[in-house]
């Protein structure tokens, strides 16, 4: 059963997402529990905390051993391949977001023709991201990109089949919007997404129930460049950096041509400011995202 959040953690969706405030005002204020990454980590089960600590200790020991053998760089590569997590400066292979200054990087609505270039950048920078993918004309048309996203250690996530607003359609249709992506990604990669982002961030009790039944946690965001409004890469970079704080979740879209060129500058400055860029699941660790729950900084 998902944990109940405290009253202090309860918040109204109205005002959380500036991009959808007008729509929400028209449809009424849906209220639901939102869990922040720091709260999720603090409430992680003792067994998960012990397992995380043991994993970090083992990784530290292996790194020290590699250093003694003069093979530190090779050791990092092996661990990266085995765990699907980047290591090195700014990487998240051995990251502990309970101590590190973490921020999650996420991309919505792909894959697209821009995704291969984005993956090249992330690989060069040793950074992993979470990809909330659309099914229609994206996952179904670009299985090679989906495979590469997975193979290079990024997190596969669900952004519905055709970007319908889940709170505006019948429950059965909302279930199909999510389950079709689950099935398509599983067919391509053998893995089933555990995270989903509702279009426009709009969710309610019924969407939460459907998500829980499908094994999906809901992930909103705290940073948006509104890159759907501009192709100005410098402006996109500026907006992201102005909003980013520890435990933030950055929302970008790899479908717009101004976004991918902004990524190198964003990553460079985030690292300069002491951030470790991680996936959503790494941000929540040692907690695991619980199906049906809504996560937002």
Q: Which of 128, 154, 159, 253 is catalytic?
A: 253
pLDDT score for 76: 42
Q: How many CA atoms lie within 13 A of 76 on its CB side?
A: 13
Mean residue pLDDT across the chain: 85
pLDDT score for 261: 98
Condensed to tens digits (0 to 9), the pLDDT of residues 223-251 reads 999 999 999 999 999 999 999 999 999 99
Average pLDDT over residues 159-164: 98
pLDDT score for 44: 94
Evaluated on CA atoms 42, 128, 113, 253, the torsion sign reads: positive
Weakest mean pLDDT among 17-31, 40-54, 123-137? 17-31
**Is 108 designated active site?**
yes
Average pLDDT over residues 152-173: 98
pLDDT score for 252: 98
Phi/psi of residue 103, nearest 5 degrees: -145, 140
Q: Are 164 and 184 in contact (CB under 8 A)?
A: no
Average pLDDT over residues 70-85: 40
Weakest mean pLDDT among 7-11, 99-103, 201-205, 231-235? 7-11
Does the structure show a pLDDT above 90 at 81?
Answer: no
Of 178, 110, 182, 195, nearest in space to 146 by CA: 110
pLDDT score for 29: 54
pLDDT score for 150: 98
pLDDT score for 285: 96
Q: Which of 39, 76, 94, 108 is catalytic?
A: 108
């Amino acid at each position: 059963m998902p944990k109940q959040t405290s009253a202090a953690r309860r918040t109204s969706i109205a005002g959380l997402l500036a991009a959808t405030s007008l729509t929400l005002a028209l449809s009424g204020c849906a209220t639901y529990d939102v869990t922040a990454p720091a709260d999720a980590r603090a409430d992680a089960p003792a067994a998960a905390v012990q397992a995380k600590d043991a994993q970090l200790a083992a990784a530290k020991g292996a790194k020290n051993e590699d250093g003694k053998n003069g093979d530190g760089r090779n050791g990092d590569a092996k661990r990266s391949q085995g765990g699907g997590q980047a290591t090195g400066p700014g990487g998240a292979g051995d990251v502990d977001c309970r101590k590190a200054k973490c921020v999650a990087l996420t991309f919505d609505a792909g894959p697209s023709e821009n995704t291969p270039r984005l993956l090249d950048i992330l690989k060069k920078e040793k950074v992993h991201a979470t990809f909330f993918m659309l099914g229609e004309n994206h996952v179904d048309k670009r299985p090679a990109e989906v495979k590469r996203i997975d193979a290079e250690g990024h997190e596969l996530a669900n952004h519905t089949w055709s970007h319908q607003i889940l709170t505006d359609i019948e429950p059965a249709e909302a279930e199909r919007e999510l389950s079709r992506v689950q099935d398509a990604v599983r067919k391509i990669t053998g893995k089933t997404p555990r995270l989903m982002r509702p279009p426009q961030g709009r969710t309610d009790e019924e969407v939460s129930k459907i998500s829980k039944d499908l094994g999906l946690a809901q992930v909103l965001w705290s940073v948006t460049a509104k890159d759907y409004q501009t192709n100005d890469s410098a402006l996109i970079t500026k907006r992201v950096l102005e909003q980013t704080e520890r435990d933030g979740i950055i929302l970008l879209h790899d479908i717009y041509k101004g976004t991918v060129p902004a990524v190198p500058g964003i990553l460079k400055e985030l690292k300069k400011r002491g951030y470790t860029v991680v996936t959503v699941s790494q941000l929540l660790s040692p907690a695991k995202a619980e199906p049906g729950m809504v996560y937002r900084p």
